Homo-oligomer: A and B are copies of this chain.
Amino acid sequence: MRNLKIDGKRLWDDIHETGTIGGTAKGGVRRLTLSDEDRRVRDWFKAQCEALGCSVTVDAVGNMFALRPGKNPNLPPIAMGSHLDTQPSGGKFDGVLGVLAGLEALRTLHDNGVETEAPFLLVNWTNEEGSRFTPAVMGSGAFAGALKVEDVHAKADRDGVTFAQAIDAIGYRGAAPVGGRKLSAYFELHIEQGPFLEAEGKTIGVVTHVQGMRWFNGVCTGVDGHAGATPMFKRADALLSVARLVDRIDKIARSHGPTAVGTIGELTPAAPSINVVQGEVRFTIDLRDPKDEVLEVMEAEVRAAAAEIAAMNGTSFVIERIWKAAPIPFDADCVAAVREAAAISSHATRDCISGASHDAAYVQSVAPAAMIFIPSADGLSHNELESSSFDDCAAGAQVLLDAALLYDSRLAGR
């Protein structure tokens, strides 16, 4: 394998150029999926890939595939990619980095006249963020067969515009079928969206798993009361019970630390009023851990805590599990390629578990996949202030290229 060097400056310029498409005053990006801003960045992306001689195809949910031929057309391509859509108040790096680093990798191959064994494929997945159309990771989910194309097309945004209308409006409903496309491997570079790499001074995160996840809807029922006339000993305050559960979930997650997390992100009193003891409160729970058996214990502990709290003040809980995603281990060979690629550049690495979901998690269900993380300042993401350094972006792109080439050289050796 030749010692190819990506051009960090070119990548950095691309990040800032695309950052102007939907750019915000605070330096962030608002580029909702299938919006006019999305169309503009897609047009830009297509032109850049075609300038390298790649053929760009688009499937029926708007996933974009730029193909660079290899020596052996019978090998399924080695893919890289991520997404170009952002949160409503997103940053310049989340998703974008993975696509642009893949583009920089293709440019480096092109500039050096490298012919890979397998074709190389660069993917821009549609609607990873899920801010305009839910659920998130939609394009890769459809590609992996987890979502039906007709269901995706029928999704509507808050204004009642369907996915089908929106994709037609920007001209990105492609002719290619969704999914059923073999990949030799898939590598995705992403900012960490967490604090570990920065805190430990490591440059490259070797992502071994995506965390398992359990989501719950809960309702606590007590008895409404007049805040002035209902003495404390007579209350069955549903808000108090849920407040205590919030505290207990924090303690439960910490007791399984450092990987486990537990969050109450929604809490809605039924009859909010300054002078009313709340008789009903709805809430959500999000539990995550890389081990399913830990999640099983956490769920049992949360349910036991709720029962104990309920008994203390005459309230009752109903907690319903609405989603369960098992932890996803990435492909061992792909992970090994990432680790070796980092060693080529002598980068300090750390094994990471992705707390967030990513396109790579869906791809892993149909092809060998792995992810590479680089540090994000303060662990911020989904935030206009998210930021990663020039050097870390360049390091990530280099590891992405090298991991793909290492995998490619093994295909050649088989």
Contacts and interface: CB of A to CB of B under 8 A. Distances in A.
Contacts of A269: 265-267
A226 B356 contact: yes
A200 interface: no
Interface stretch (A95-103, A158-166, A275-283): A275-283
Interface stretch (A71-79, A120-128, A230-238, A363-371): A230-238
Interface stretch (A10-18, A255-263, A294-302, A396-404): A255-263
Contacts of A272: 265-268
Contact of A355 (B211, B230, B383): B230
A267 B195 CA distance: 29
A192 interface: yes
Contacts of A211: 228
A224 interface: yes
A231 B379 CA distance: 10
Contacts of A268: 272
Interface string A202-215: 00000000010101
Given A263-B277, A284-B274, A355-B226, A257 B240 contact: no
B250 A247 contact: no
A270 B227 CA distance: 24
B277 A273 contact: no
Number of this chain's copies in the assembly equals: 2
Contacts of A215: 274
Contact of A267 (B194, B230, B239): B239
A230 B379 contact: yes
Contacts of A105: none
Most buried by B among A243, A266, A288, A382: A243
Closest 6 CB pairs of A and B: A228-B355, A243-B246, A229-B355, A243-B243, A227-B263, A193-B229
15 contacts: A195-B231, A215-B274, A227-B263, A227-B265, A228-B288, A228-B354, A230-B261, A230-B355, A231-B258, A232-B253, A232-B258, A243-B243, A243-B264, A263-B275, A267-B272
Given A232-B262, A237-B263, 20 more contacts: A194-B229, A194-B231, A195-B230, A215-B274, A227-B261, A227-B263, A228-B354, A229-B355, A229-B379, A231-B257, A232-B261, A239-B265, A240-B247, A240-B264, A243-B246, A243-B247, A247-B247, A266-B273, A267-B269, A268-B272
